[in-house]
Structure 1
Amino acid sequence: MAETDKKRELIIEGAIKRFIHFGINKTTMNEIAEDLSVSKPSLYYYFPDKTSLILGVVERIFKDYFDVLYADLKQEANIETTLLNIVEIKHRFFLRYYMLHLSNGNPDSSLNSVELKSYLEKMLEKNVQFHEKIFEMAVANKEIAPQEDIPKLAELYLSCQSGLTSLCIMHGNKELFPGKKELKLMKEKQISLSKIFIKGLKN
């Protein structure tokens, strides 16, 4: 990795730590520079403003997430094992990054940039495509019945999982990190939904 890339990654790692601990809204570029003992001109060389830094952080999180998903995907694994593994991976990432509140009405204007919204839309679409591949594999392996519209099926499954996550968070305190009870319930419901969903698709 080039020296410039290493420096950029160190800044992103430092930003993630401070964002998680203090929140994006309460973190300034100056504080990140102080944490990392880098000059402000050096920080602004890599990230001209807070918006570009947040985008860099989000890109890093999604890269790590999809790297883990693709590394875990096994052609020979059955669909239930695959989907339940994804629930576990998603749960780990949720625990680690939930405090960033990237989609929870965060008041920081940096989270409302066109660039960030566009990137998040692309990642949502990438996630749908990833799940399309899983359902296509299951059809090819004759685990589930042939489907007329796999993209719509993948989107429906993800919408249901997303809805469960939102309901479990709202069941607790929306302003704080969900308690152990809400987190356990969320994971259990996502697992149950996956099993029911698969059962309904089988021949």
Structure 2
Amino acid sequence: MKENPDSLRTKILDGAISLFIEKGIEKVTTRELTEHVGISRSHIYHYFRDWQTLCIEALSVVMLAELKEFTEEIALLHPQEKLHTLVRNYLPDTQGDIWQLYGSLWQLAAHNEAYAELARLMVQKWLELLAEIISAGIHTGVFRSTNAGRVTRQLSAIMNGYSDQLIVMPSAEARQEAMDDILDFVGLVLEK
């Protein structure tokens, strides 16, 4: 029985994501993917122009799904709770799967414009979410009136700096210290 083209394409992407999480993007080969999924190499290149296109699409799928899931998870929260939840989510407590994928993307983006484009898109999407939370908090009077764009950039830079450290040196103590520092900043800059 022939497999539906959309189903096979999804199967290839899911297989790629699984292997990328297990081994890292840079270490997965076409042969490993074909063996993992149980298809021929020609199937991969029938659905994806080249290996890079497949990698970028697989990363996009998992990263955008994670962002969507998180956005839905916080949708009904009060702006202050949304911001605190975002900070907790943003700071890794272990070298988890999604953080390893982001780390791989950043490494590839440093030398490849196609990966850099995806990295910029993901940064933009997370910045937009952060800006929406801050703006909603200002609008509802939960946060003090301030330059939302500037605070978004500052807070993003602080969170990224701490998350980079925690990816390399994860520990519960370091994560808690980072959380405390970031929430102190939020208190000083935003909270009434």
Please state if 1:102 is matched with 2:90: no
Shift of 1:75: 5.0
Give distance in 2, aligned partners of 1:166 and 1:47: 32
**Which string of whole-angstrom CA distances, capped at 9 and with x for unpartnered residues, describes residues 153-187 of structure 1?**
111101101101222344x4xxxxxxxxx242453
Shift of 1:123: 1.6
Q: 2:57 is matched with which residue?
A: 56
Shift of 1:128: 0.9
Partners of 1:129 and 1:151 within 8 A in 2: no
Q: Secondary structure of the residue that 2:83 maps to in structure 1?
A: helix
**1:111/1:33 CA distance change after superposition, 3 Å:** farther
Partners of 2:16 and 2:33 within 8 A in 1: yes
Shift of 1:150: 1.0
Q: Which ranges of structure 1 fall in alignment gaps of 5 or more residues?
A: 173-181
Q: 1:187 is matched with which residue?
A: 175
Partners of 1:87 and 1:190 within 8 A in 2: no
**Which string of whole-angstrom CA distances, capped at 9 and with x for unpartnered residues, describes residues 103-147 of structure 1?**
5646xxx98432221121122112111111101111122111101
Q: Secondary structure of the residue that 2:25 maps to in structure 1?
A: coil
Q: 1:196 is matched with which residue?
A: 184
**Structure 2 letter corresponding to 1:139:** I
Q: 1:138 is matched with which residue?
A: 137
Shift of 1:190: 3.9
Partners of 1:19 and 1:27 within 8 A in 2: yes
Give distance in 1, aligned partners of 2:8 and 2:75: 34
Give distance in 1, aligned partners of 2:172 and 2:106: 20
Give distance in 2, aligned partners of 1:4 and 1:92: 39
Runs (4 or more) in structure 1 with deviation over 4 Å come to: none
**1:195/1:123 CA distance change after superposition, 3 Å:** same
Write the mapping of 1:1-203 to structure 2, written as runs, cut at 5 A.
3-74=4-75, 77-79=78-80, 81-90=81-90, 91=92, 95-100=96-101, 101-103=103-105, 105=107, 112-147=111-146, 149-170=147-168, 172=169, 182-200=170-188, 201-203=190-192
Shift of 1:51: 0.7
**1:5/1:86 CA distance change after superposition, 3 Å:** farther
Q: Secondary structure of the residue that 1:146 maps to in structure 2?
A: coil
**Structure 1 letter corresponding to 2:156:** L
- What is the identity percentage for the equivalent residue pairs of Structure 1 and Structure 2? 16
Give distance in 1, aligned partners of 2:137 and 2:22: 41
**Structure 1 letter corresponding to 2:191:** K
Q: 1:177 is matched with which residue?
A: none
